[in-house]
């Protein structure tokens, strides 16, 4: 099968490599040619013009935001050149409303569409063990499932178009709330004189444990905030949730409180750092650092 892949960012690049490992006829497209050499060495075709993917039977998108996806899908860059019977799979994480509009644009041209956002950080993208949540017709899902199994270990059909994005949003919001909770509570522990290393051990072996705590606490203890997804990019999930809540009259007070922490961190200039950096909001407010003694309280 001829497969096109648009977007070679932090997640897209390892995903595309996994598709190559399984012997697919792959053409990759990115605005930057930074990674083209390594893909050419493995037999992929490379282009900076997504219109060159027009002969692909299946096109994956792994892009940073809805505007970029819409620019590729909604304009004449790609869709005008794809014929009926092709399939587009969007691995990006974008808003539900934008996904529905994209699905309608493609379906009007006889092009099948799956919104298939992924869960799992870069290491799981490299290992090919991502969780993929798909929205779209059962027929399109079954057609693409064998290819998706090359990049993920859990492939789920969640329902009609948009269902994948809604499911990813639920997962992300729970993670976001956990990360904001750590940011608020850990500095309180330091303020009260508790040893941060020991608190981290208790949380990550006790009932307060979460994926967020397991990932971020060791990094917070080292004052390291550069491993996860940047706060400025992650904020789009909170915007999407606020829009849904307003449109559907769904109260989410805990999420609203977590959103205020994200907003404060962004206003304080932490947007390029990962979600663990929200701890700086409350560290600064309380005049403490939740750091391992071995780091000397570094930030």
Beta bridge partners of 164: none
- Domain shared by 72 and 9, yes or no: yes
Q: Are residues 134 and 206 in the same domain?
A: no
Question: Please, is 25 exposed, middle or buried when counting C-beta atoms within 10 Å of its C-beta (0-12, 13-18, 19+)?
Answer: middle
Which residues span the domain enclosing 246? 166-295
- Local confidence band at 75 (pLDDT 50, 70, 90 cut-offs): low
* Residues 102, 207 within the same domain: no
Q: Please tell me the predicted confidence (pLDDT) of residue 249.
A: 98
126 & 175 share domain: no
For residue 127, what pLDDT is reported?
A: 95
How much is the pLDDT for 189? 98
The CATH number of the domain where 279 resides is what?
1.10.1040.10
Residues 47 and 181 in one domain: no
| Lowest model confidence (mean pLDDT) among 14-18, 98-102, 173-177, 225-229 | 225-229
Please, are residues 55 and 2 in contact by the beta-carbon 8 Å criterion?
yes
The residue among 143, 160, 177 that closes a domain is 160
Q: Do 155 and 13 belong to one domain? A: yes
42 membership: H or E segment, kind and range = none
pLDDT digits 0-9 by tens, 180-206: 999 999 999 999 999 999 999 999 999
Asked if residue 71 and residue 211 are part of one domain, the reply reads no
**Residues 92 and 234 both lie in one domain:** no
Q: Report residue 136's pLDDT band, with 50, 70 and 90 as the boundaries.
A: very high
Q: What is the CATH number of the domain that holds 31?
A: 3.40.50.720
- Domain termination site, one of 160, 175, 203: 160
Q: What is the pLDDT of residue 77?
A: 64
Same domain, 122 and 185: no
**170 shares its domain with 155:** no
Classify each residue of 212-227 as buried b or exposed e, where b means 16 or more C-beta atoms within 10 Å of its C-beta.
Answer: bbebbbbbbbebbbee
Residue with more model confidence, 73 or 150: 150
The pLDDT value recorded for residue 83 is: 82
Tokens of 89: 């799979």
Residue 63 has what pLDDT? 94
Q: How does the average pLDDT of the chain come out, rounded?
A: 94
Q: Give the domain-ending residue among 125, 160, 195.
A: 160
Distance CA(124)–CA(118), nearest Å, equals 10
What is the mean pLDDT of the segment spanning 11-36? 96
Distance in angstroms (rounded) separating the CA atoms of residues 75 and 73:
6
Clarify whether residues 129 and 250 are in a common domain.
no
Same domain, 24 and 112: yes
Whether 168 is a known active-site residue: answer yes
Number of folded domains in the chain?
2
Q: Is the predicted pLDDT of residue 51 greater than 90, yes or no?
A: no
Residue 181 β-bridge partners:
none
Of the residues 21, 42, 154, 168, only one is catalytic, namely 168
The pLDDT of residue 228 = 81
DSSP state string for 235-246: HHHHHHHHHHHH
- Tokens 């190559």, residue located: 20
């Amino acid at each position: 099968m001829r497969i096109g892949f648009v977007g070679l960012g932090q997640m897209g690049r390892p995903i595309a490599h996994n598709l190559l490992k399984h012997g697919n006829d792959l053409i990759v497209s990115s605005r930057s040619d930074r990674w083209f050499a390594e893909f050419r060495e493995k037999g992929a075709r490379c282009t900076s013009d997504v219109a060159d993917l027009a002969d692909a039977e299946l096109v994956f998108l792994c892009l940073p935001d809805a505007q970029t996806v819409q620019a590729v899908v909604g304009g004449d860059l790609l869709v005008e050149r794809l014929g009926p019977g092709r399939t587009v799979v969007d691995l990006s994480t974008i808003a539900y409303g934008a996904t529905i509009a994209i699905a309608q644009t493609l379906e009007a041209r006889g092009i099948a569409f799956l919104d298939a956002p992924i869960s799992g950080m870069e290491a799981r993208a490299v290992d090919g063990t991502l969780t993929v949540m798909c929205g779209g017709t059962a027929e399109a899902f079954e057609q693409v499932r064998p290819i998706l199994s090359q990049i993920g270990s859990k492939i789920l059909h969640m329902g009609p178009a948009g269902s994948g994005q809604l499911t990813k949003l639920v997962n992300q919001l729970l993670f976001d709330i956990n990360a904001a909770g750590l940011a608020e509570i850990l500095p309180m522990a330091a303020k009260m004189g508790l040893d941060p290393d020991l608190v981290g051990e208790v949380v990550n072996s006790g009932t307060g444990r979460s994926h967020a705590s397991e990932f971020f606490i060791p990094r917070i203890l080292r004052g390291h905030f550069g491993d996860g997804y940047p706060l400025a990019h992650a904020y789009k999930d909170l915007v999407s949730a606020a829009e849904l809540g307003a449109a559907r009259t769904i109260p989410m007070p805990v999420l609203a409180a977590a959103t205020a922490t994200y907003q404060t961190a962004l206003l304080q200039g932490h947007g390029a750092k990962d979600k663990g950096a929200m701890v700086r909001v409350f560290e600064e407010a309380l005049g403490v650092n939740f750091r391992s003694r071995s780091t000397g309280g570094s930030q």
